[in-house]
Amino acid sequence: KAGVTQTPRYLIKTRGQQVTLSCSPISGHRSVSWYQQTPGQGLQFLFEYFSETQRNKGNFPGRFSGRQFSNSRSEMNVSTLELGDSALYLCASSFGGDQETQYFGPGTRLLVL
């Protein structure tokens, strides 16, 4: 069974631009969660989508948004990029039940200049 895939793996943007990251979950998984990982703040929860609906949200500004498609693939968008948005963005998928094991993708490394 293929694992969680994320595209692109690396991305360089400049301040003020916007970016869209993609995550394809493991086949059969209906939940996709997004996390931001930085050296200073560690791994922080962004949001979770289940069956195309946002089910949980972390404490990030509205510039961070996401969506999920009917095939469970998910995208996250960051608008008006700031230098502090430079991070590794990880997505994780699961079947979506309570405390189901999450399987992480390799992440997208975003650098904002």
Q: Which of 12, 17, 27, 55 binds another protein (CB under 8 A)?
A: 55
State how far the Cα of 66 lies from the Cα of 46, in Å rounded to an integer: 9
Q: Which of 56, 71, 77, 80 binds another protein (CB under 8 A)?
A: 56
Q: Are 30 and 72 in contact (CB under 8 A)?
A: yes
Cβ of residue 107: shortest distance to another protein, in angstroms?
A: 6
When the beta carbons of 61 and 106 are compared against another protein, the nearer one is 106
When the beta carbons of 50 and 64 are compared against another protein, the nearer one is 50
Q: Is 101 in the site for another protein (CB under 8 A)?
A: yes
Q: Which of 31, 68, 72, 74 binds another protein (CB under 8 A)?
A: 31
State how far the Cα of 108 lies from the Cα of 23, in Å rounded to an integer: 9
Q: Is 4 in the site for another protein (CB under 8 A)?
A: yes
Q: Are 26 and 74 in contact (CB under 8 A)?
A: no
